[in-house]
Amino acid sequence: MLFVFSIRFEHWLDSDPDALAAQGNLEREFAQVIQLPGVARVGTHSVRRWGKAALITTFSGNVRYPGLRQHYDQELARRGWQFTGVEPIRDWWRDLGGESAHYRKGPYRASLLYAGESAKYAWDYSLDMSWQSSYEPSD
């Protein structure tokens, strides 16, 4: 009985029509963004739950943060995204030189995460786009 309830609950979480529509919009939006030349896509992960949707894509390549930011600032602005701020990121309290730049477009959010020059991950940066029913639309 618990197993059946679990399957039905999981199906209910995935059946939000607003989240489904947002996921499609995020995928179309991401496809329109011209990616940085000379990098390889490491992976893409989609998440959709009741009231939430996200698309997380990681990339690897010989990139420096100033050029990365300049490219995506211009590319996202071309698509109508507004820059909202930047913050340093840390890995278990260690400063590896990473930063996260944030953008918004209507009810959608985007983050450009640069791992940092000292990071030794399988990816160098990610471009994440998300929607949450509690986000306030931008003007």
Encode pLDDT of 66-116 as tens digits. 999 999 999 999 999 999 999 887 776 666 667 889 999 999 999 998 877
The pLDDT score that the predictor gives to residue 6 is 43
Encode pLDDT of 37-73 as tens digits. 999 999 998 988 889 999 999 999 988 889 999 999 9
Q: Which of 88, 36, 29 is nearest to 55 (CA)?
A: 29
The pLDDT score that the predictor gives to residue 138 is 55
CA dihedral for 8, 54, 98, 100, sign (positive or negative):
negative
DSSP element (H, E) containing 104: strand 99-105
pLDDT at 7 over 80: no
pTM of the model: 0.80
Backbone angles phi, psi at 7, to 5 degrees: -65, -45
Q: What is the pLDDT confidence band of residue 133, given thresholds at 50, 70 and 90?
A: confident
Q: How far is Cα 18 from Cα 76, in angstroms, rounded to an integer?
A: 23
pLDDT at 20 over 70: yes
Q: Which residue has the higher pLDDT, 39 or 123?
A: 39
